A and B are shown apart, each in its own frame.
Chain A
């Protein structure tokens, strides 16, 4: 595209309008609007959680009396600390399994040519793009046949299915960005192919591996459909599903629901605060080729 193709337009009213649109005033106003739409619902949830069960119906923006009763009731009396524990077990185990499987597989796809490599790789992409709701029924039947319904391993199995293909894809894209000459010179220096991977490429891949780990943790922490389908009781239910159990009642106890929600939200906010860069790089490389 050559710059000659632009019409020469003198500094015009139209340009003055665009200068205004681009001014810090408008830019920050737009961004503040975005930030408000994100933060107001989360803040409201927090304010509800420190209100009393009756106080939430007072139609006031701030609680009259601040109480942490809802947290005590939800976590201790209703036993929702178990759901937090389940979430931690499920997300951590899923993350470990997915990382152990996805990192070497991503490396293999980035470095080796083998029969049907493209077909197999497209198969992996396909299993990421395939709608999970489509196999919710066979999954339910399968878990039930294996006796894994309402168990933590059953949910972990479902989460591994959901996130493994995506993480293989992200890892492959990351490894492609590492020059292949490094592997080759490692081989020349006497490494085996496996050592070239573990001793040379892997140490350089820490940001990619971290992105995959953080994303898997967040994704399996957030996931609802499969965890909901695979668990009906508090013994195996993660917190992302446990919050939903407040809705089944005739009258929803909004303060308790809010307290459980805040407990479910807090870890995700911390993860975003501390690992924003990895999440962004993971999200973009999961969407794009390079």
Chain B
């Protein structure tokens, strides 16, 4: 490299410390750029993952020596009716949240895209982003206060004033309402992400497509179906998978709001992992549930990386 040798070759930079460092950096450029990051990921991610799978093969209890019993935790898990209840709660929660945040995000993105004034579009987007940026536990407790039973919960106040209900409802202690409600709060938190991604997708559609279609007499609905939707498809695939995946593992909305209650009506796999592993300190069983949750996600993550990302690349 030319910087390493002075013109005339009287003195080379390799003689100085700085020159030596710069040569080392250049010769091992990948190591310098990538090494620290990968090392950190290996230390704080790969190691715990391996340990989690390994530990799931042990029978553990507080105060007892862990005993190697490879199938014990998994048998316990798959034969437990509770586990399947919690699994179905998780499926309800994740798909419900996805459905609501996907639809509302799409509607709001389409609406924002129709606003002509730039400052107005930005204001709408900024305000909607507020709900995404709030600390997650704060969101949970904020809604818990709105939904609290008694006449002073905001939702009850409004419904009572409108005459829609006669007496206040304890929304979160209601066995039938608790799960739908935490699902909606999760969607409230997740909706701005969908909106932002759809908005980016909408803005990438060339305007002349619409002009041509309109000249041909296509109705608005036909334009949406034949231009907007095909263009948005990769964005929809991404929002669908990411929102589902993050809701599937979610902990921070349900736990502060209901602790998994009333009873176990809002207990999802994430809450179960916390309860078995961190409260009852049964590390083996908790790890086995975690391993199951991971495996379900990995199947989808693999799908995401290989199929969806590939398709967008093309």
A residues with CB within 8 A of B? 1, 3-10, 12, 14-15, 18-19, 21-22, 24, 27-28, 30-31, 34-35, 37-42, 44-45, 48, 56-59, 61, 100-102, 104-105, 107-109, 112, 114, 120, 122-127, 129-142, 157, 160-161, 164-165, 168, 190-195, 197, 218, 221-225, 228-229, 239-241, 243-244, 246-247, 254, 257-258, 261, 264-265, 268-269, 271-273, 276, 279-280, 283-284, 287-289
Contacts and interface: CB of A to CB of B under 8 A. Distances in A.
Interface stretch (B67-75, B80-88, B175-183, B284-292): B284-292
A164 B200 contact: no
Contacts of B313: 289
A283 B48 contact: no
Contact of A18 (B3, B137, B221): B221
> Can you list the 3 inter-chain pairs with the closest CB atoms, starting with the nearest?
A105-B37, A18-B220, A131-B249
B160 to A, nearest CB: 8
A45 B52 contact: no
B29 A229 contact: no
Contacts of A133: 249, 251, 270, 273-274, 290, 293
26 contacts: A6-B216, A7-B217, A8-B217, A22-B220, A31-B112, A31-B124, A39-B130, A41-B142, A42-B142, A44-B145, A57-B150, A101-B36, A108-B30, A129-B301, A131-B294, A137-B273, A137-B283, A137-B287, A138-B47, A161-B44, A165-B45, A222-B135, A222-B136, A224-B252, A265-B138, A280-B199
A114 B38 CA distance: 14
Interface in B50-69: 51-52, 55
A31 B115 contact: yes
Contacts of A105: 33-34, 36-38
Contacts of B112: 31
Interface residues of B, number: 109
Interface string B123-147: 0111111110111111001111110
A17 B152 CA distance: 42
A239 B36 CA distance: 30
Given A31-B108, A164-B37, A284-B197, A58 B152 contact: yes
Contact of A61 (B2, B125, B133, B157): B157
B274 A240 contact: no
Given A18-B220, A38-B128, 4 more contacts: A133-B293, A134-B273, A134-B290, A136-B277
Contacts of B22: 192, 194
A228 B112 CA distance: 37
A131 B30 CA distance: 29
A247 B135 contact: no
A12 B33 CA distance: 61
B60 to A, nearest CB: 10
A268 B137 CA distance: 14
Residue from A34, A126, A132, A195 whose CB has the most chain B CB atoms within 10 Å: A34
Given A38-B131, A239-B135, A271-B133, A165 B301 contact: no
B135 A34 contact: no
Given A6-B222, A30-B111, A229-B278, A135 B40 contact: no
B219 A9 contact: yes
Contacts of A38: 127-128, 130-131
Contacts of B17: none
Contact of B242 (A14, A57, A254, A287): A287
Contacts of B301: 125-126, 129-130
B304 A129 contact: yes
A12 B142 CA distance: 47
B195 to A, nearest CB: 8
Residue from B1, B134, B239, B298 whose CB has the most chain A CB atoms within 10 Å: B134
B305 A122 contact: yes
Contacts of A228: 137
A7 B222 CA distance: 9
A34 to B, nearest CB: 5
B26 interface: yes
Contacts of A114: 30
B188 A37 contact: yes
Contacts of B298: 126, 130
Interface in B199-232: 199-200, 212-213, 215-222, 226-227, 230
A31 B111 contact: yes
Interface string B165-207: 0000000000000000000000010000100110110000000
A193 B55 contact: no
A187 B195 CA distance: 42
A259 to B, nearest CB: 12
Residue from A19, A136, A197 whose CB has the most chain B CB atoms within 10 Å: A136
A120 B135 contact: no
A128 to B, nearest CB: 9
Contacts of A10: 217
